[in-house]
Amino acid sequence: MSYSLINPNLTNEELLILSRELVNVLKLNKITKLESLRKLVGNHIKSTIASDFIEVRTSKSQHSDLNYRIRYCRPFQGALIEVGIDMDRKFSQIELMSQEPMQGYSLVRKDQYSRLSQFKTLPRADINLVIQELSSLQQ
């Protein structure tokens, strides 16, 4: 399957490939606890797909700066998959960008490329739960 850096159309089939890549990167880096995610903060990790990359950041909230953002990015298109892990409110959220609705995800909006921004909230701030959800997209 070929990927275009400037074609923003992203099918669910392509999104599943990207989610598999994100899971593989997390597993290769032995990310099994939130503490192990900390070592990746500030890094851009090259994907095996075209010029795509994964970045890990912390973000601040009212009570803590230990909230994590994991983003699967494509140049000129931004984040196609974004994971937020909120340590304060103890939940995780996955946001997906695709041309098609994804089962089990709620629609937020359409972007300038008519991609659907969809999200799912998970009941715990748990990287293993996030990996499990991303893996279940592929089944």
The domains of the chain are located at: 12-136
Average pLDDT over residues 109-135: 93
Q: Whose CA is closest to 100, among 19, 22, 5, 10?
A: 10
Report the C-alpha gap between 75 and 109 in whole angstroms.
Answer: 21
What's the pLDDT band for 117 if we cut at 50, 70, 90? very high
CA–centroid distance for 136 within its chain? 14
- Cα separation, 72 vs 69, in Å, equals 10
Q: State the pLDDT at residue 63.
A: 64
Q: How far apart are CA 139 and CA 135, in angstroms?
A: 7
Structure token pair of residue 5: 């850096």
3-state secondary structure of 32: coil
Strands (E), the chain: 44-46, 53-59, 67-74, 78-86, 91-98, 106-110, 116-122
**The pLDDT value given to residue 88:** 83
pLDDT score of 81: 96
- Once rounded to an integer, what is the mean pLDDT over residues 39-50? 91
